[in-house]
Amino acid sequence: MRLPDIEYALRRTRSAGGNITAHSHESWEMVCYISGEGKTVCGNVSYDYRADTVCLIPPNTHHKEINTTETELVFCAFVPGDQECRAGVYNGDAEISQIAVMLASAMASRNVTDGTVAGLYLAVILTKLMSSEGIEGVDGGEQNRSLESAFHYIFDYYNTDIKPRELAASVGYSYDRFRHIFKDRFGITPKQMILYKRIDAAKQMLRSDGKIENIARDCGFGSASQFNVIFKKTQGMTPGEYRAVSRKRQAN
């Protein structure tokens, strides 16, 4: 299963009364409104947006925007992978908005592993949108909801001792079947997703002054030494080195 290929993802705040003139892209575009109100026009159809509204805009489709109030949003250009992707304006939720913010943060780091994580986050957003009520013609809705439930659990409890076999049983699958459909949908196994989520959370915490051993524990790693080994293997540097690089970037 191929994940979406994200060309860029940015988080921005636009002033009340702003007006983004009509434009189009050669790639798909996702716009997730984190907060604010206004109008978004896709093609020839105008929609009211609010917090958690998500637009999926196909290539070469004109799009413009009028910001009634100050608006925070994440927008990204991407080439779809093997996930279902249907143009439209969707009523998302706070979790989708949170994932979109994490997607933009991952892309900002310019790390290869983070690019994979960002693609995973977009795949999850697409899965949630395509399994929403009222979307016609989407096959496998029950399976999508089971995978969404498993993702929610990993997302909320990544720092605990998650046992993939027990997670599989909780959504009604044998472990082998669960692992297969999970990887088919997201491109990685449940164990890999747990690891990616722990690493992503650790990177956010490393921007603070917290002790590395405490960050390791708070992110679900068995020990600081295990955290160091896994972090260096996936990121190409130790947690301490990553903290130093992050601070240097912030200073610039």
Task: Residue 244: give its domain's CATH number.
Answer: 1.10.10.60
The answer as to whether 175 is a domain residue is no
Tell me: do 119 and 228 sit in the same domain: no
Cα 206-101-74 angle, rounded to 5 deg? 140
Round the CA-based radius of gyration of the chain to a whole number and report it: 19
The answer as to whether 179 is a domain residue is no
Tell me: do 225 and 123 sit in the same domain: no
Give the domain-ending residue among 98, 113, 137.
137
Domain range for 216: 195-251
- Torsion angle, alpha carbons of 93, 95, 96, 101, to 10: 130
The pLDDT of 158-176, averaged and rounded, is 87
Give the domain-ending residue among 115, 137, 159.
137
Give the domain-ending residue among 137, 161, 176.
137
The answer as to whether 11 is a domain residue is yes
Tell me: do 122 and 244 sit in the same domain: no
Domain count, the chain: 2
Q: How far is C-alpha 30 from the geometric centre of its chain's CA atoms? A: 12
The answer as to whether 155 is a domain residue is no
Tell me: do 243 and 123 sit in the same domain: no
The answer as to whether 131 is a domain residue is yes
Tell me: do 128 and 211 sit in the same domain: no
DSSP codes joined into one string, the chain: -PPPEEEEEEEEEE-TT-EEEEE--SSEEEEEEEE--EEEEETTEEEEE-TTEEEEE-TT--EEEEESS-EEEEEEEEE--SS----EEEE--HHHHHHHHHHHHHHHTT-HHHHHHHHHHHHHHHHHHHTSTT-TT-S-HHHHHHHHHHHHHHHHHTTS---HHHHHHHTT--HHHHHHHHHHHHSS-HHHHHHHHHHHHHHHHTTSS--HHHHHHHTT-S-HHHHHHHHHHHHSS-HHHHHHHHHHHHH-
The answer as to whether 148 is a domain residue is no
Q: Is the pTM of this model over 0.85?
A: no
Q: For the segment 38-88, what is each residue's pLDDT rounded down to a tens digit?
A: 999 887 778 899 999 999 998 988 899 999 999 999 999 999 887 778 888
Tell me: do 118 and 23 sit in the same domain: yes
The answer as to whether 64 is a domain residue is yes
Q: Which of 78, 122, 77 is nearest to 99 (CA)?
A: 122
Which amino acid type is present at position 240? G
Tell me: do 5 and 102 sit in the same domain: yes
Q: For the segment 52-66, what is each residue's pLDDT rounded down to a tens digit?
A: 999 999 898 889 999
Which amino acid type is present at position 8? Y
Tell me: do 203 and 131 sit in the same domain: no
Q: What is d(CA 240, CA 230) in angstroms, rounded to the nearest whole number?
A: 13
Q: Say whether pLDDT at 246 is over 90.
A: no
Max avg pLDDT among 38-42, 84-88, 134-138, 168-172: 38-42
Q: What is d(CA 118, CA 100) in angstroms, rounded to the nearest whole number?
A: 9
Tell me: do 129 and 199 sit in the same domain: no
Tell me: do 12 and 120 sit in the same domain: yes
Tell me: do 107 and 29 sit in the same domain: yes
Tell me: do 44 and 132 sit in the same domain: yes
CATH number of the domain residue 130 falls in: 2.60.120.10
Tokens of 174: 């044998």
